[in-house]
Amino acid sequence: MRKYRRFLLPFYLMLSACMPVTPADTPTRAASFSASDLPAMKTFAVPRPAPALRSNSDIARDFLDLSFKLESGRALPSFSRFEGPITVRVTGDAPAALDSDLRRLLHRFRTEAQIPIAQAEGGKSANILIHAVSRKAIHKALPQAACFVVPNVTSLSDYKRLRRTQALNWARITERETISIFIPNDSSPQEMRDCLHEELAQSLGPLNDLYRLSDSVFNDDNVHTVLTGFDMLVLRATYDPALRSGMTRAEVAARLPGILSRINPRGDTLAPNRAARTPRVWIDAIETALGPGTKPAARRKAATEALQVASAMGWQDHRRAFSHYAMGRLILLSNPQRAKAEFAAARVYYSNTRNSNLHLAYVASQLAAYELTQDRPELALSLVNPHIDTAAQHENAALLATLMMIKAEALDLMGRVLEAREVRMDSLGWARYGFGPDWAVRAKLREIAALSPLKGFRG
C-alpha cells in the first residue's frame, strides 16, 4: 500500500493562522449574505493543462524514479500497470459533483494519456472501485488520511481484514487487476476532486512522489492537485504499447528514450536540468514541520532544519522556496514580520523556478493578506491580481475564491465599494466548490474580512 500524502495542509487554508477571525455571531458587510443570496456553485469547464516543458532525458529519469520506487524509498522489482481496457465504478453515496468530475477526468485520460478507460455499465464489476464513504470511516481505517488507494481489495472491510497481509504489498504486484480508492463523500467538492485525481493517477501509474517535481501531482508539497500536462505525459508513457507489466527497471529504461521521442518530440530539443535528488533528512524535516501530531516548538525546529539542509544543498529551486514557506507559515502568529520575510524569500526562489506559477499564487495570497492588515490595499491588490487566472487555470477553486475575497477587501479599503461587492459575489460560487457547505463559505468570508482594519483586524 502506498503511503498517503495528503497530511500537508492545503495552502489556501493557511490564512486561518494569519490573523484573528471575526466571531461567527458578529455580522460584517463581507459576511452578511443570507442563504438565498449565495450564488450557485461554480465548476470548471474546459481543462487548461500546461504542456510538460522539460527534456526527455529528465522525464525518463523522473519516470523511472516514480515507477520503480515507493515513497519510503523501497525499490520495486518490476513495472506494473493494467493490461487491456480498464473499467471504473463508483460505489456508496456519491454526490453528483463526484460523478461529474470523474467523467471529466476519464475523458482526459482517454484523450491526453490515451488510456482505454471508461465507467463500468450498470452493476458490472470493475478494475478500479471508487468508494464514496464518510471521513469518519476513512479515519477509522487509516488515521490522518484524507483518502487512500490500495490494491487487491473490493471494500473497506476487505482492506481492514487484509491490511497486515502481503496481499496489499505493491512490491508483489506484477500486473494490476483490482484496486480500490476510498474518498470522503462528506468533504467539499474540491477535496473529493483532488482525491479523485491523485488516487486514480496512482491506481493507473506511479507509486512514488518526488519533491523535485515542480509541475506534478506526484509531489508531496500538495501544490498541484489536478493532474498536469507532465502527469498525463507520464501516464501516456506508462500505457505505451512498447511497455508491459513485469518488465525490470533496465528493460523499461532501454525503451523509454524511443517512447518519449515519439510521444513528446519537443522534449528532445530541450536541455536537461538534472535536479538534485531530495535527501531523506529534508523530507523528514518538512513532514515533521507540516504534518500532524507535532508540538509547535518541534515544528519550528524541524522547519529550521529544512532550511539549513536546503541551504547546504545549494538549492535555488522550489524546494528552497517551500522551506521558506513552511517557516513563514509556522511563525505567522508569533512573528508576522519575519513570516512576511520568509514568504518574500519563497517568492524569490519560486520566481527562479520553471513551472512555479501556482506556487507563486499561494505566496501572493499570504503576502497580500499581510498588506491588508497594514492598510496597504493598493499593494494587496497588485499582489493578487496577476494570480487570479493562474488559480483558475489550475482549477483550484478554494485558492481562486480566497484571492478574490482578498481583492474585494482591498477594493473596499480603497473606497471602490460596488466593485468590491461584485468581486465578492463572484468569489462565492467558487467558494462553494472549494470549501463546500454554506457555513464553510461564510467562515472563509469572515476570515478574510478579519484581515481588514475596517472590519476585524485589531493590531
In the 3-class helix/strand/coil scheme, how is 422-455 assigned residue by residue? Answer: HHHHHHHHHHHHHHCCHHHHHHHHHHHHCCCCCC
Do 338 and 429 fall within a single domain? yes
Specify the pLDDT at position 41: 93
How confident is the model over 372-430, as pLDDT tens digits?
A: 999 999 999 999 999 999 999 999 999 999 999 999 999 999 999 999 999 999 999 99
Q: Average the pLDDT over each of 39-53, 245-259, 324-338 and give the range with the smallest value.
A: 39-53
CA angle 394, 400, 402 (to 5 degrees): 145
Average pLDDT of the segment spanning 348-371: 95
Specify the CATH number for the domain of residue 132.
3.40.390
- Residue 429 backbone zone (phi > 0: left; psi -120 to 50: alpha; other: beta): alpha
What was the pLDDT predicted at 270?
A: 94
Check whether residue 129 and residue 252 sit in a common domain.
Answer: no
Q: What is the pairing mode between strands 128-133 and 117-119? A: unpaired
Contact between residue 412 and residue 454 where contact means Cβ atoms under 8 Å apart: yes
221 lies in the same domain as 306: no
3-state SS track over 155-203:
CHHHHHHHCCCHHHCHHHCCCECCEEEEEECCCCHHHHHHHHHHHHHHH
User: Quick one: which of 9, 34, 26, 32 has its CA closest to 458?
Assistant: 26
Examine the pLDDT at 123 and tell me if it is beyond 80: no
Domain assignment of residue 148, yes or no: yes
Q: What are phi and psi of 290, to 5 degrees?
A: -110, -10
Q: Does 265 share its domain with 283?
A: no
pLDDT, residue 87, reads 97
C-alpha cell of residue 248: 525490470
Same domain as 328, residue 423: yes
Distances (CA, A) of 402 to 19, 368, 385, 431: 15, 11, 12, 8
Quick check: 371 and 383 in contact, CB under 8 A? yes
Query: What does the DSSP 8-state code read for residue 82?
Result: B
Do 267 and 222 lie in one domain? The reply is yes
Q: What is the pLDDT of residue 456?
A: 58
**What is residue 27's predicted lDDT score, i.e. its pLDDT?**
30
**Grid-cell match 501544490, residue found:** 223
CATH number at residue 315: 1.25.40.10
At 349, phi and psi to the nearest 5? -70, -35
**In a domain? residue 4:** no
Q: Within 13 Å and on the Cβ side, how many CA atoms surround 307?
A: 16
Q: What is the mean pLDDT of residues 295-319?
A: 95
170-176 average pLDDT score: 94
47 pLDDT more than 90: no
Q: Which of these three, 171, 187, 204, is where a domain ends?
A: 204
Q: Which pLDDT belongs to residue 34?
A: 47
Check pLDDT > 90 for residue 7: no
pLDDT at 361: 97
Does 454 fall in a domain?
Answer: no
- Does residue 280 belong to any structural domain of this protein? yes
Binned at pLDDT 50, 70 and 90, residue 16 comes out as: very low
What would the mean pLDDT of 141-164 be, rounded to a whole number?
91
User: Does residue 162 share a domain with residue 251?
Assistant: no
Per the structure, how many domains does the chain have? 3
Average pLDDT, the chain: 90
Does 245 share its domain with 323?
Answer: no
The average pLDDT across 78-95 equals 95
Residues 56 and 162 in one domain: no
Range of the domain at 183: 82-204
Last residue of a domain, one of 273, 297, 320: 273
Give pTM, 2 decimals. Answer: 0.90
Q: Which residues contact 82 (CB under 8 A, 6 or more apart)?
A: 127, 175, 176, 177, 204
Domain presence at residue 5: no
| 2 domain residue, yes or no | no
* C-beta separation of 254 from 38 below 8 A: no
Please tell me the predicted confidence (pLDDT) of residue 183: 96
Indicate whether 300 and 434 sit together in one domain.
yes
**One domain, residues 297 and 415:** yes
Q: Which of 204, 229, 261 is the last residue of a domain?
A: 204
Based on the fold, state whether residues 250 and 295 are members of the same structural domain.
no
- β-pair type (148-151, 86-92): unpaired
Residue 56 lies in a domain: yes
Average pLDDT over residues 93-101: 92
165-192 mean pLDDT: 94
Whether residue 126 lies inside any domain: the answer is yes
Q: Which residues pair with 88 in a beta bridge?
A: 119, 128
DSSP string, 369-380: HHHHHTT-HHHH
